[in-house]
Amino acid sequence: MENILELKTINKLRELSFYIPSYQRGYRWGKKEVTDLLDDISDFNPKEIKNTDEKSWYCLQPLVIRKRDENEFEVIDGQQRLTTIYLVLYYFNQTKAEDYRDEIFDLNYETRSDSTEFLKELKKDKIDNSNIDFHHISNAYNTICEWFKKPNFNRNEFESKFTFHTQVIWYETKETDPIAIFTRINIGKIPLTNAELIKALFLNSSNFEKDKKDKVRLKQLEIASEWDRIEHTLQNNRFWFFLNGDNTLTNRIELIFNLMNTNMDENDIYSTFRFFNTKFIEKSEKIIENNWQEIKKYFQTFEEWFNERELYHKIGYLLITENSTITELVIAAESRTKKEYKTYLDNIIKERLKKISLEELQYGDREVKSVLLLYNIQTLLNNKADNSLFPFEIYKNGNWDIEHITSIKDTIPDSTKRIQWLKDAERFIEEEKLLNKVIYFDSNKKSDDDFEELFKEVIEHFNKDVSDKDLNDISNLALLDSVTNRGYKNAVFPIKRMTIIKREKKGTFIPICTKNVFLKYFSDYPPKISFWTQEDRDNYMNDLETVLKVYLTPQEELNYE
């Protein structure tokens, strides 16, 4: 038998009876937890739900229960909330004449044989210290009584909101081992996710015709199997981080559900579940099938994007630079042929770079990172003989800097690193006079000013073809992970080159264009290994312009604007 999942208003709980088993921790809510719940419900204002006759409701976390008898249920998870609900309902009754009091559900704690009677005899301002549970329960009741004393507070409005517009997620399990369920839910106190709750909605037997048991079972198996395949694919980090940078979703299929949720409320963790629950108010196999087909359509679109190399790179770039949302890209794909869709993607990128002139880009400009990222992605894409993919999963999970290829001159090592800096530079200095200065520099006898003078000489030796005004141009900038970049900081070009080669050998991802820079890809043969020359920079700039030409506005048009 399948588990049952539905939403119940507080009012619908009144006629039931609940059993709190001994494996449950006793009641432990204090003043903060109780007042937080009351404050949240008080602040909540029901609103009309689009395209329905219903109003929104305040949603409590799941109440996981198992049926013991016709109207009696064993509480597997949620007894703290359930006991507090009872106390609020009990308070409402105490404010009414006895003949007008409403029925309240029964609570029976297995470890407290007199708990049912105790809960029916609670008194304001009386704390029961006979056991720890009664102590906390009576304290909670007094907190509730005090909370309702607020001046000019509309108690009747709150009572209506609480009983008719507050709902609990009712998760009735048919599993035979409630302790195992309790343990699973409470390890780390991880609540049921939207995905788990929505899965129960899809697989509920009540959605299908009762006289077609075989057909029901086959449909349930089909959905369960397809669900597992979707989740398994989304658990592939290369696939997932191409689409999304969020690593907090345990069940990644929930991304699709969130995209479908047109009433998303960021402050409601169960907003997506409530959206689907509203869709399934009229239970039918057709409604289930239509919604499942929509989920599959989203996933099939994602698969097509991932498996088409051009789509993968261009969509990945647009999503990572937040120029488009997944929803916008999905909608655009529905009304276009594949050729038209690729043109659409190109036009979005062109619009992003519309007013950018590569010659004017400087270190510190916010566009530099996205331009260099696109340069690396498009360079990969232009190589038709190479099937490699840009690793969005590495990029999104790392920190990236804009690196000066030739170091800026004013970043002098602190006193603890000066000797090592000189030893590193020494191996690559070709000028004998300067080399001797470095070898015989005695930091114990020389002043800070002496070191600064020598530092400038060494930098000028490696930067002899580069003018100061060019150091911040994009022709002297590359994309590099922050660990590598900040590890060698103000090192001269050959040290940077050696460090990058070593790190790549150990498995660090170095973007292809950055690697080309330090492997002297842009140098004429034979390359000057220890220098990033003006010729290198010119060739690098030419390659940037060539690769990105398809997206850039011609310079004459920029000048005209």
Lowest mean pLDDT among 202-211, 396-405, 411-420, 543-552: 202-211
- Cβ atoms of residues 27 and 224 within 8 Å: no
The pLDDT value given to residue 382: 93
Could you tell me which residue, 224 or 34, shows the higher pLDDT? 34
At residue 398, the 3 state secondary structure works out as coil
What pLDDT does 207 receive? 57
Residue 480 CA to residue 464 CA, distance in Å, equals 24
pLDDT tens digits, 441-499: 877 778 888 888 888 887 777 776 666 667 889 999 999 998 887 776 667 777 788 88
If one compares 558 and 114, the residue with the highest pLDDT of the two is 114
| Distances, alpha carbon 246 to alpha carbons 168, 237, 550, in Å | 28, 11, 31
Is residue 506 pLDDT above 60, yes or no? Answer: yes
Residues 164 and 142: beta-carbon distance below 8 Å: no
**Is the per-residue pLDDT at 1 higher than 50?**
no
Three-state SS for 67? strand
Which carries the bigger pLDDT value, residue 215 or residue 68? 68
* pLDDT band per the 50, 70, 90 thresholds, residue 203: confident
Q: What was the pLDDT predicted at 547?
A: 96
* Range name among 231-245, 309-323, 373-387, 480-494 with the lowest pLDDT average: 480-494
Using CA atoms, how far apart are residues 537 and 470, in angstroms rounded to an integer?
Answer: 10
Query: What local confidence, expressed as pLDDT, does residue 140 receive?
Result: 96
Cα–Cα distance, 110 to 23 (Å, whole number):
9
The mean pLDDT value for 314-329 works out to 93
Q: Which long-range contacts (CB under 8 A, 24 or more apart) does 202-205 make?
A: 202/227, 202/288, 202/291, 202/292, 203/2, 203/3, 204/2, 204/3, 204/4, 204/5, 204/283, 205/1, 205/2
- Kindly report, residue by residue over 143-182, the tens digit of the pLDDT: 999 999 999 999 999 999 999 989 898 888 877 777 766 6
Q: Is the pLDDT of residue 439 over 90?
A: no
Residue 542 pLDDT greater than 60, yes or no:
yes
From the list 91, 59, 65, the residue with the least C-alpha distance to 78 is 65
Give percent above pLDDT 90 in the chain.
Answer: 45
pLDDT at 184 over 70: no
- pLDDT average, residue stretch 10-37: 91
Query: Is residue 414 scored above 90 in pLDDT?
Result: no
Give the contacts of 479 (CB within 8 A, at least 6 positions apart). 369, 372, 373, 376, 400, 401, 402, 403, 511, 513, 514
CA separation for the pair 179, 323 (Å, rounded)? 48
Average pLDDT, the chain: 85
Rounded CA separation 322/47 (Å):
31
Which one-letter DSSP state was computed for residue 234?
Answer: H
pLDDT tens-place string over residues 30-61:
999 999 999 999 998 887 766 666 777 888 88
For residue 423, what pLDDT is reported? 80
pLDDT value at residue 117: 93
Highest mean pLDDT among 42-46, 256-260, 549-553: 256-260
Q: How many CB atoms lie within 10 A of CB 134?
A: 21
- 434 falls in which pLDDT band (50, 70, 90)? confident
Range 302-307 average pLDDT: 96
pLDDT in tens, 363-391: 989 999 999 999 999 999 999 888 899 99
Q: How far is 485 from 481, CA to CA, in rounded Å?
A: 6
